[in-house]
Amino acid sequence: MRQFLRAVSAVVVVLATLVAGEAIIRARPSLGDVAAPFPIEAEPSQPVTVDGVTVTVLGVRGAATLRRTTDQKVIDTSGVWVIVRLRLEAVTETTDIGYLALTDARDRSFRVSDRFRQPLGEGIRSLQPGLPVEGEAAFEVPRDAVGLRLRATETFTEVFELTLKSVADIDLRIPAGSVERWAADSTPAELADVRFVG
């Protein structure tokens, strides 16, 4: 009987050790936890500085179709075009926006559209300190996207994605019903020209 109790005790100790070890392993932060981006939250019209660039959302509008200014071709979508008016300014040295996207309440991400060359987008314009620019960027999003936020940062590589980066995270505050109204409007939208502001 003693041998049986010792064997049971040994099994219990081994099982307790395994359970404790599993708990310790699960409690360790993952690479995603320790290398996650650092969002800096802001509201529309509130400037937010990430890395070497200051980002300000000046307004939001939408459309079912867009008209390219280069050739006047109309581009449609099965979703809706969300057009964000931005002010961008380099802080201390020449830089670019390397990542520009919208995210929704379901944590889906929609990068600035590459279906046409946009005047303001990822890596297109070199930003100079003291010379802020204003312009619009268009994003193609599904009609069921709600809670849209703009995310932007200075540098970005596909290898490291947004790990260990500070990222502007600006709530667009789109009123309820706006997406449905935009999707029903048959008038093609045109993006405003980029301009320097002083």
Instruction: Supply the pLDDT for residue 164.
Output: 53
Q: How far apart are CA 46 and CA 58, in angstroms?
A: 9
Q: Which residues contact 162 (CB under 8 A, 6 or more apart)?
A: 36, 37, 99, 153, 156
Instruction: Supply the pLDDT for residue 33.
Output: 46
Residue in the block written with tokens 């789109």: 174
Which tens digit of pLDDT belongs to each residue from 41-63?
999 999 999 888 999 999 999 99
Tokens standing for 163?
Answer: 């790990």
Tokens standing for 87?
Answer: 């002010």
If we measure between CA atoms, which residue out of 14, 49, 31, 18 comes closest to residue 162? 31
What's the one-letter identity of residue 60? V
Which tens digit of pLDDT belongs to each residue from 119-155?
888 877 789 899 999 999 999 999 999 999 999 988 6
What's the one-letter identity of residue 100? L
What's the one-letter identity of residue 37? P
State pTM to two decimals: 0.78
- The answer to whether the beta carbons of residues 189 and 61 sit under 8 Å apart is yes
Which tens digit of pLDDT belongs to each residue from 3-45?
766 766 766 666 667 665 565 555 555 544 445 567 889 999 9
If we measure between CA atoms, which residue out of 124, 119, 151 comes closest to residue 134? 119
Tell me the Ramachandran region of residue 96: left when phi exceeds 0, alpha when psi lies from -120 to 50, beta otherwise. beta
